[in-house]
Amino acid sequence: MKLVIGIVRPEQANQVLEALYRAEVRGFSISRVQGHGGELDRVETYRGTTVQMGLSEKVRFEVAVSDNFVEKTVGALCEGARTGEVGDGKIFVVPLEHAVRIRTGDSDEGAVTPVSK
Q: Which residues bind another protein (CB under 8 A)?
A: 9, 11-12, 14, 34, 36, 39-46, 49-55, 83, 85
Indicate the residue among 51 and 100 with the shorter CB distance to another protein.
51
Residue 1 CB, nearest distance to another protein (Å)?
A: 31
Indicate the residue among 53 and 115 with the shorter CB distance to another protein.
53
Q: What is the DSSP code (8-state) at residue 88?
A: -
Residue 84 CB, nearest distance to another protein (Å)?
A: 10
Residue 12 CB, nearest distance to another protein (Å)?
A: 7
Whole-number Å distance between alpha carbons of 12 and 47: 31
Indicate the residue among 86 and 94 with the shorter CB distance to another protein.
86
86: Cα separation from own chain's centroid: 17
- State the CB neighbour count (10 A cutoff) for residue 112: 21
Whole-number Å distance between alpha carbons of 86 and 32: 19
Are residues 91 and 6 in contact, defined by beta-carbon separation less than 8 angstroms?
yes
Residue 81 CB, nearest distance to another protein (Å)?
A: 12
